[in-house]
Structures are given as structure tokens and as C-alpha cells.
Structure 1
Amino acid sequence: MFMEPITLSKTELEERLLEICTIIEETGRELIVTDNGKPVLKIVPYKKKGTVDEIFGKYYGKLVIHEDINTPTIDEWDDV
């Protein structure tokens, strides 16, 4: 689900900084800060990097390798 970024001028950001920070934290939306109507900054929520187990854990025990994964693949290039 894509959420449109919030766009504010530098002045509006200065006036509403705490409110906007809370919105970004809670919704994950990005913020585009403008100066004289032109985008100058993009503020994005911080995302914690996942561990290997968090990212690939659902695949443990489901991947089947039918040969030694360290086998050279030179023979494959001879066919090209």
C-alpha cells in the first residue's frame, strides 16, 4: 500500500515539527520539505534492518539444492 508523501514548506515544518514527527512515526509516510515551492528535503521514517532469521526464516527447510552449490559452473559457459 503506497501512501502519498506529506508536503510542507520549511516554515510549516518549523511550526509543526513535533506533530509531523509523530505522524511520520505512526504512519510510515515520507515528508517532502519545500522552499519557495521547490522540494529541498525528503524525510523518511527510520527502518530497522532485519536479521537474517527475520528475512529468510520462512524459507528454512523449504529450499532444496540438488547438487553441490560450490560446483564450478564453467561448463555452462561453453554452451554460450
Structure 2
Amino acid sequence: MQANQVSKTEFKAKALEYFRQVEASGESVVVTDHGKPTLEVRPFRDTEREPLDILAGSVLRYDDPTAPVDTEWEAAQ
């Protein structure tokens, strides 16, 4: 997800509009100062989620996790 960028001056003038946009779209807004990112406004995500719920859907395919690795390793000497 790519964040929208806005200057501090514009953000100050339209802060409520940007808050509503972040809430509705779920996309972050990066506030810049002289072209450099300084703040990120993003949707709130509850931190009290179960660890497995956070990882759900992150592994797309894992055919044989116990199969040997076909890579030669260099041992540190």
C-alpha cells in the first residue's frame, strides 16, 4: 500500500479531511516538512490481537517444510 504525501501546511489546513480519508480508505497519509517525511497518519489497529491472527494469510504456499534444502552451505572456518 502506497501512502499519500502532503505538506505540513496543507495538512494543517485540511487535517479533518485527511483524517476522514484515512478512516474511509485505510491508507496512510505521510506529512512532509520541506519534502522530507516527518509524520505518518494511519488507521488505528488494535494491538491486543492474537499473534496467529496477525500472521493469518501471510504464508501463501508451503509444500514440504521437512524436505532437505537443495543449497550448498559454506561453513565458517
TM over 0.5: yes
Q: Distance in 2 between matches of 1:38 and 1:24?
A: 20
1:21-71 Cα shifts (integer Å, max 9, x gaps): 00000111011110011111112110134655xx4xxxxxxxxxxxxxxxx
Q: Give the match for residue 20 of structure 2.
A: 22
Higher helix share: 1
Q: Secondary structure at 2:14's aligned position in 1?
A: helix
Over aligned residue pairs, what C-alpha RMSD do you find?
Answer: 2.4
Q: Which runs of 4+ in 1 moved over 6 A?
A: none
Q: Distance in 1 between matches of 2:49 and 2:3?
A: 28
TM-score normalised by L of structure 2: 0.58
Q: Distance in 2 between matches of 1:29 and 1:51?
A: 20
Q: Which of 20, 30, 33 matches 1:32?
A: 30
Q: State the one-letter code of the partner of 2:11.
A: L
Size of the aligned set, in residue pairs, is: 54
TM-score normalised by L of structure 1: 0.56
Q: Against the structure 1 CA distance between its residues 51 and 37, is the aligned structure 2 distance closer, same or farther, given a 3 Å change threshold?
A: closer
Q: Tell me the percent identity.
A: 31
Q: State the one-letter code of the partner of 1:45.
A: P
Q: Give the match for residue 42 of structure 2.
A: 44
